[in-house]
Amino acid sequence: MHQKTRVRFAPSPTGPLHIGGVRTALYNYLYAKQQGGDFILRIEDTDTTRFVPGAEAYIQETFNWLGLSFDESPAKGGTYGPYRQSERRDIYKGYVKQLLDSGAAYIAFDTPEELEAKRSEIANFQYDASTREKMRNSLTLSDGETQSLIDGGSQYVVRIRIDPDRDIIVNDMIRGEVVINSTVLDDKVIYKSSDELPTYHLANVVDDHLMEITHVIRGEEWLPSAPLHVWLYRSLGWEESMPRFAHLPLLLKPEGNGKLSKRDGDRLGFPVFPLEWKDPVTGDLSSGYRESGYLPEAIINFLAFLGWNPGTEKEIFTLDELVQAFSFDRCSKSGAKFDVEKAKWYNHHYILNKPDSELAALFAPILREKGVNAPMEKVTKVVGLVKERVHFVKELWEQSSFFFVAPVSYDEKTTRKRWKAETPGQMRALMQLLREMDDFSPENQETTVMEWIQQNQYHTGNIMNAFRLAVVGEGKGPHMFNITDVIGKEETLRRLEQAVTTLPVREDNN
């Protein structure tokens, strides 16, 4: 029978999730859904010293925001739970015992001081087949000595015993077969008596096996751990059901040299976290994509392209289209440059394609904050007129405030250029024309005003720019008659009146 695809996203709750972690989760999701499989969230919280309160809730909220839902998770539960490693302590203990009993692992009592001493004594010291004979462990001590040390309360660790000179094959869907000689590996600690917890490596492998994970898709920084994980699978007798690996390319600095870090974000002014994060200890605030005004669709599309491409020119993909198109064959081995301009480009695209009514709903809280109380019908119309000019919802205000509040001052440069001695008279005539207009539709305004300009042999640019200055306060905005259509005849006339009575007339500005 074909095995059901099961993948997991396995973050450690040590702080806010990095945007690279979100990319990892996304690729897991895409692959799982494409294969009709399950997407699981497992919290790897065995390193109690690095645990940060709030980090797990942050992770959950991130995926709620992005609309990537887990089939099994700590919050949702599932038949393979618990999904927090801190709640699985007893499970790991059994496997530690199995490894010790079979001789695949051993107990070591070396204190940090003893290890330090060895490091200064032996160049490039590593705890392995070449050195373990010289250390204080269950291989060099008698069974009786070992037992009495444990009984006497000595702290110890359990180390995996790596036999030298064996080929370890990591079968990676992106990198192909990676062969590593076991001699380079050290006897990693897999369990600590001090907190009675396994280390990341053992817990990770045990859970992947017990949760029947078929594909381990994770960041490239975990590639060096993969041979050890393969070794652990082998030592536990699970080689047959070992998952396949995919180590995703690094996210690189915008300049392309080196790994993307939080400092790059601070330096170049973009977030490296999906959501805003307040450090529970220092109170420091780090910006997030959500709070910076990015739409989830834009972030998903942007992240999908950091390490994968469809092999065509197509750049815009819905989540469902990504699920269809994704493949490891088209994932790159080399790092992906993080270009936030591209994220902005995607955001602009998704704003343009969002229905005006949805955008208006996103804009409404900003309007409220500005003290504007406008009917949604008007907001919707305004948004439709200015959205092509913005990358973010919050920029809508700058582009449209004049629809909601009359100018209180007038741009000086435009005034100097456009408000001439004859302008007030012309504007009064224009007011008369508009006042008498029964059909105030943009089309009718346009034909009537243009005819009037022609009949009087006015200069179109001079009239229209003065008109705009009076209504908008400066020389910007969408098509003039769309603005007057939205604000209405009364308001248009009121603004013209205000400009005519308050703007100084300069005699010398021809």
Active site residues: 262
Size of the chain in residues: 510
Integer Cα distance of 298 and 320 in angstroms: 14
Q: Which is nearer to ligand GLU, 12 or 445 (CB)?
A: 12
Q: Does 222 bind ligand GLU (CB under 6 A)?
A: yes
Interface with ligand GLU by CB under 6 A: which range of 7-15, 345-353, 418-426, 494-502?
Answer: 7-15
Q: CB of 349: closest distance to ligand GLU in angstroms?
A: 31
Q: Does 65 bind ligand GLU (CB under 6 A)?
A: no
SS3 content of the chain, % helix, strand, coil (to 5): 50, 10, 40
Q: Which is nearer to ligand GLU, 200 or 270 (CB)?
A: 200
**8-state DSSP, 65:** H
Residue type, 183: T
Contact set for ligand GLU, span 144-203 (CB under 6 A): 200
Q: Does 12 bind ligand GLU (CB under 6 A)?
A: yes
- At 7, which helix (H) or strand (E)? strand 6-9
Q: CB of 6: closest distance to ligand GLU in angstroms?
A: 14
Give the x/- contact pattern for ligand GLU in 31-50, rule: CB under 6 A.
-------------x------
Which of 10, 135, 464, 496 lies at the binding interface for ligand GLU (CB under 6 A)? 10
CA distances for 492 relative to 377, 445, 460, angstroms:
19, 12, 19
Q: Does 62 bind ligand GLU (CB under 6 A)?
A: no
With H, G, I as helix, E, B as strand and everything else as coil, classify residue 257.
coil
Q: Which is nearer to ligand GLU, 9 or 338 (CB)?
A: 9
Q: Which is nearer to ligand GLU, 118 or 244 (CB)?
A: 244
Helix residue spans in 67-216 (DSSP H): 89-101, 112-121, 143-151, 200-210
Q: Please check whether residue 88 is in contact with residue 96, taking contact to mean a CB–CB distance below 8 angstroms.
A: no
Q: CB of 296: closest distance to ligand GLU in angstroms?
A: 22
Integer Cα distance of 404 and 397 in angstroms: 10
Integer Cα distance of 260 and 252 in angstroms: 5
Q: Which is nearer to ligand GLU, 25 or 390 (CB)?
A: 25
Q: Which is nearer to ligand GLU, 70 or 200 (CB)?
A: 200
Which of 7, 11, 41, 464 lies at the binding interface for ligand GLU (CB under 6 A)? 11
Cα–Cα nearest to 9, from 36, 33, 42, 35: 42
Q: CB of 24: closest distance to ligand GLU in angstroms?
A: 7
Integer Cα distance of 316 and 504 in angstroms: 51
Contact set for ligand GLU, span 95-124 (CB under 6 A): none
Q: Does 247 bind ligand GLU (CB under 6 A)?
A: no
CA distances for 325 relative to 82, 250, 315, 320, 465, angstroms:
33, 21, 12, 9, 50
Q: Does 204 bind ligand GLU (CB under 6 A)?
A: yes
Q: Which is nearer to ligand GLU, 109 or 245 (CB)?
A: 245
Contact set for ligand GLU, span 320-339 (CB under 6 A): none
Q: Which is nearer to ligand GLU, 200 or 233 (CB)?
A: 200
Q: Please check whether residue 423 is in contact with residue 466, taking contact to mean a CB–CB distance below 8 angstroms.
A: yes
Q: CB of 70: closest distance to ligand GLU in angstroms?
A: 15
Integer Cα distance of 299 and 289 in angstroms: 8
- At 337, which helix (H) or strand (E)? strand 336-337
Integer Cα distance of 327 and 333 in angstroms: 13
Q: CB of 46: closest distance to ligand GLU in angstroms?
A: 9
> Total binding residues for ligand GLU by CB under 6 A?
9
Q: Does 207 bind ligand GLU (CB under 6 A)?
A: no
Which of 161, 175, 209, 218 lies at the binding interface for ligand GLU (CB under 6 A)? 218
Helix residue spans in 152-280 (DSSP H): 200-210, 226-235, 262-268
Interface with ligand GLU by CB under 6 A: which range of 6-14, 99-107, 118-126, 388-396?
Answer: 6-14
Q: Please check whether residue 72 is in contact with residue 78, taking contact to mean a CB–CB distance below 8 angstroms.
A: yes
Chain residues binding ligand GLU by CB under 6 A are: 10-12, 44, 200, 204, 216, 218, 222
